[in-house]
Structure 1
Amino acid sequence: MLVTGAAGNLGRIAVEELLARGATRVIAGSRDPAKLADLTARGVEARRIDFDDPASLAAGFAGVDRVLIISTGDIGRRVAQQTAAVEAAKAAGVKHIVYTSAPAARPDADAGLNPEHFWTEVAIAASGLDFTILRNHMYAENNLMDLPQAAASGQLFGLIGDRGTAYVTRADAARTAAGALLWAEGKTVEDVTGPAPVTNTERATLVSELTGKPVALIPLAPADLKGGMVAAGLPEGFAEALVAFQRDAVSGHHGVVTDVVERYSGRAPQALADFLKHNSAALMA
């Protein structure tokens, strides 16, 4: 079985989990196999796999029956890259694809990064192969991007009407992906979530409790939230993607809760409060 993007944060944890579960033939793919030296020392086979290089895809997928395709970080190019990977998997005789997608993946123009995931899902379904699409909800780690600033300023900005996000840790998502790679069957789409939706109001309370600093939620309309992000120095496209995530929280897409993490990883997902407590030092940065 093959894990692409194995040098990344999620991919590396997935490979570690496969080894911990006793998998005997694990292949780790990366654009730079040198980054996998610690894994090869433990018996993992490293292969160069570059979604922009058809030759590397053909060689990388050879002899593989199950593959975890981790979505790339090349925003704007992912559909072409990932479709090429799906086609290479089919040509190589892969039987089952596991793919890390996003919640409420859809083609809507205002859906932020979701269209890239949606069209990759379409390519996977059209391949005729069995698949497990894992729609990973917002990573708990993303809170470490905005909550330190909220603690410092005493203000957390979010959209009016937020209904909560079921944050999931990257480790829980990676262990879930490893479990699906090991034994998932058929053709399924699964939401990978934390144990409960957490609203922006609740996030403000959590950071206040952990830092001892008062933090107030400042609810904004989408245009105002985006404008504030751009004024703070974020590129407009990135700001729009972040606002799209929050719009989905308002519509309820991010509040879905499932048992997928426990079903595939064998352990309950970590709650956001526990994750933040474990990383409380980062909130004071």
Structure 2
Amino acid sequence: MASLSNLSDLAITGSTGGLGGMVARQLADVGQAQRLLVRDAGRAPELEGADPLVFSYADPDSARQVLEGVKVLFMVSAAEAEDRLQQHYTFIDAAAAAGVQHVVYTSFYGAAPDATFTLARDHFATEERIKASGMNYTFLRDNFYLDFLPLLTGEDGVIRGPAGNGVVSAVSRDDIARCAVAVLRDPALHVGTTYNLTGPEEITLARAADILTAKTGRTVTYHPETVEEAYASRASYGAPPWQVDAWVSTYTAIAAGEMAGLSPDVHALTGRDPLSLAGFLAQPQL
């Protein structure tokens, strides 16, 4: 594909989703040309200086083709799936083979091989694969999305989960996106760095329920389930075991203290304090 030589040497994945879309739009707003790597060109955002290219994480040939001439790759983790880690490995290997020099990867806070949150283990393994590839890297370890806290509430106004009295330092996707853009605009400054992206506060789910009640006018409460209750209450969804494990372990990771802790990295990268839950809820919701 000789025409690829005329395209930007910055590639962005995930632009049809929430976080990747924010990053792509913010880059376009500052005049940064980019390749948008998407599964469906028809869903790619129409942005000035952005060229959509179709690929699949699981298809090494398509990945190598669209990454030809790319120097910096923003890699949003693939959609949750049982084989997501293998998809990541395939894509990372293809990126290295295509000559990509630097990968900026959206990882997860507390990523470790023995993390309580099951998907954080996959993020750690992905980081290790990137390190082993020889490419430069920057890891954005995002805490739980602040945007998702309101979505934990059931139709009856109750947040249910085995989080106990643990705290979470949830961070907004907008803050994560601004951090990513800061890195992508001058990636050489961030080679080999891992950033922990958190909000400005550690809150229990009970406190989150109180804030949601105060800011939305809807009465929200928190019911701390046992682990057994959590599995039983989610059985009706018919999800595969790996998915249910991921759902439940989100809460047990909070209970274990693995979502706690505050980091200065959002402010350091963007010059702005991260949004709190109350601040997020005060914004116009699109």
> TM tier, shorter chain?
0.7 to 0.9
1:170 alignment partner in structure 2:
173
Partner of 1:75: 81
Mapped contact 2:37–2:54 kept (Cα < 8 A): yes
Instruction: Look up the match of 1:263.
Output: 268
- Give secondary structure in 2 for the equivalent of 1:230: helix
Q: Distance in 2 between matches of 1:260 and 1:210?
A: 27
SS of 1:80's equivalent in the other structure is helix
Match for residue 197 of structure 2?
192
Query: Does the aligned pair in 1 maintain the 2:12–2:24 contact within 8 Å?
Result: yes
RMSD of Structure 2 on Structure 1 (CA): 2.3
SS in 2 for 1:161: coil
1:27-57 deviation line (CA, Å, top 9, x unaligned): 1110112222512xx1212212211222211
Superposition deviation, residue 267 in structure 1: 2.5
The corresponding residue for 1:14 is 23
Tell me the equivalent position of 1:131: 137
Partner-residue secondary structure (3-state), 2:203: coil
Contact 2:163 2:254 survives alignment (8 Å): no
What's 2:209 paired with? 204
TM-score (norm: length of structure 2): 0.87
Structure 1 equivalent of residue 7 of structure 2: none
Counterpart for residue 274 of structure 1: 279
Shift of residue 240, structure 1, vs aligned partner: 2.3
Percent of aligned pairs with the same amino acid: 28
Map of 1:51-130 to 2, 5 A cutoff?
A: 51-108=57-114, 111-130=117-136
Q: Match of 2:41, as an amino acid?
A: P
Any idea what SS the aligned residue of 1:254 has? coil
> Could you tell me how far apart the structure 1 residues matched to 2:159 and 2:63 are?
44
Count of matched residue pairs: 274
How much does 1:229 deviate? 2.6
SS at match of 2:44: helix
Report the alpha carbon displacement of residue 21 of structure 1 after superposing the two structures with TM.
3.1
Tell me how far apart the structure 2 counterparts of residues 265 and 4 of structure 1 sit (CA, whole Å).
21
Q: Is the 8 A contact 2:59 2:91 kept in 1?
A: no
Letter in 1 for 2:34: V
Matches within 5 A, 1:122-161: 122-147=128-153, 149=154, 153-159=156-162, 161=164
Kindly state the Cα deviation for residue 224 of structure 1 after the two structures are TM-superposed.
Answer: 1.9
Q: In 2, are the aligned partners of 1:137 and 1:192 still within 8 Å (CA)? A: yes
Partner of 2:56: 50
What SS does structure 1 have at the residue aligned with 2:235? helix
Q: 1:213 Cα shift?
A: 5.0
Specify the SS of the correspondent of 2:181. Answer: helix
Q: In structure 2, what is the Cα distance between the partners aligned to 1:37 and 1:239?
A: 32
Structure 1 stretch displaced more, 99-108 or 125-134: 99-108
| Secondary structure, aligned partner of 2:131 | helix
TM-score by length of 1: 0.87
Distance 2:72 2:22 in 1: 17
Q: Which blocks of at least 5 consecutive residues in structure 1 are unaligned?
A: none
Q: Secondary structure at the match of 2:118?
A: coil
SS at match of 1:94: coil
The separation in 1 between residues aligned to 2:193 and 2:165, in whole angstroms, is: 29
Matched residue type, 1:18 = L
Contact 1:162–1:246 (8 Å) recurs in 2: no
What residue identity is the alignment partner of 1:210?
Answer: K
C-alpha separation in 2, matches of 1:91 and 1:130: 14
